[in-house]
Amino acid sequence: MPHSHHSHSGQFCRHAKDQLEEVVVEAIRQGFEVFGLSEHAPRYRIEDLFPEESDLSPLALAETYDSFLVVAAALRRKYADQITLLLGLETDWITPLDSDGISRTLVSHPEIDYIVGSVHHVCGVSIDFDRDTWLRSVWQARQPTESSTMRPSSSSSNAPPTLIPLDPSVPEQQSGYTPSLTELRPFLLAYFDAQYDLLRTHQPEVIGHFDLCLLWTPGVVLRSDELEGVWDKVERNIRYTIGYGALFEANAAAIRKGWTTSYPSREVLRCILDGGGRICLSDDSHGVSYVGLNYLKMRDYLVGEGVRDVWHLVRASERREGDQVVGGRGRVVARRLSEWKSHPFWPKLEAAQADRRA
């Protein structure tokens, strides 16, 4: 569709590529009409930095996010007659510092239109950095003292968690280990509890990759008997999200990471649709070559699952009849796009992507 609500650039994110303006120009070229710039929130503890950020400090990350807003706002003005750029922030949810940081950032930056509510950590450990790190987070969630994802204390360690070597005495932490459903259960419970906390505390306008917790185990059925209690939490989170009007993003990055579907996976998507939840589209691009990537596959998946309308965010100042309220912040509203599967955007995107490959 002509929308994406989730993107990054190498100018402000070390694990992405390219300048923000190059990303925007590519989105225009492919025919996007609404493109959300949702750079990652700063992280607040030294141990939450990623290996590629080892020369940085939490303060530097905060300054980087601030400069992102300045550049993004300038690009919004520069390209206003060609594309609607929305300014966003993708959350992290590691410790209470992240929650305080989200609140502070939203207050001091009224130009932020919306947040993408994402959970990338369980028990303080990244779940999507790589598989080994994810194994540690699964293992950590099974430890009696680490049942909560939001660890209150800030440790004084200088080593980011991603750099802590796997413990060779723990078989479940070794590369290639496949946790059983019973072993996965505490991890999944903790993930969906963290997500629920995030939803209740900040009412994100867009729910980022709802089931990122399944990244490394795409076949897992969340309703399995061995995962007792997990599906209840999934349903609870979906109900809560629908209740305040947020959009669930269909996020194409899952396909790039080897899934046959976008996020959310079938089981979750069907539950969202059954409850009347609203879907929006995101490429979660991390550079020019990721813009619109796998959008056609994502369209086919969503159409196959019966997604009749997609929604996109609109700044509240442009609200018109039929637009729907999204959460309590009031900076954006949601607009429906029907007949989206036959929108002229698709052939244009296809042609633009063929050009890029040529």
Residue ranges binding Zn ion (CB under 5 A): 8, 118
Q: Phi first, then psi: what are they for 24, rounded to 5°?
A: -65, -45
CB of 155 to Zn ion, least distance (A): 24
CB of 118 to Zn ion, least distance (A): 4
CB of 284 to Zn ion, least distance (A): 6
Give the burial string for 312-334 (b: 16+ CB within 10 Å, else e): bbbeeeeeeeebeebbebebbbb
Q: Phi first, then psi: what are they for 19, rounded to 5°?
A: -80, 150
Between 118 and 137, name the residue whose CB sits nearer to Zn ion: 118
Between 263 and 301, name the residue whose CB sits nearer to Zn ion: 263
Between 215 and 272, name the residue whose CB sits nearer to Zn ion: 215
Residue nearest to Zn ion (CB): 118
Between 32 and 129, name the residue whose CB sits nearer to Zn ion: 129
CB of 77 to Zn ion, least distance (A): 25
DSSP state string for 87-98:
EEEE---SSHHH
Between 5 and 8, name the residue whose CB sits nearer to Zn ion: 8
CB of 320 to Zn ion, least distance (A): 31
Between 60 and 80, name the residue whose CB sits nearer to Zn ion: 60
CB of 55 to Zn ion, least distance (A): 18
Quote the DSSP letter at residue 277: -
Q: Phi first, then psi: what are they for 310, rounded to 5°?
A: -120, 160
Between 89 and 337, name the residue whose CB sits nearer to Zn ion: 89
CB of 250 to Zn ion, least distance (A): 14
Tell me: cis bond preceding 264? Omega within 30 of 0 counts: yes
Look at the block and give the residue holding tokens 């995107």.
Answer: 349
Between 118 and 203, name the residue whose CB sits nearer to Zn ion: 118
Enumerate the β-bridge partners of residue 220: none
Q: How far apart are CA 113 and CA 316, in angstroms?
A: 9
Q: How far apart are CA 347 and CA 300, in angstroms?
A: 14
CB of 350 to Zn ion, least distance (A): 26
Look at the block and give the residue holding tokens 């185990």.
Answer: 217
Q: How far apart are CA 81 and CA 59, in angstroms?
A: 35
Q: How far apart are CA 225 and CA 311, in angstroms?
A: 34
Tokens of 104: 């502070």
Look at the block and give the residue holding tokens 């807003």.
Answer: 69
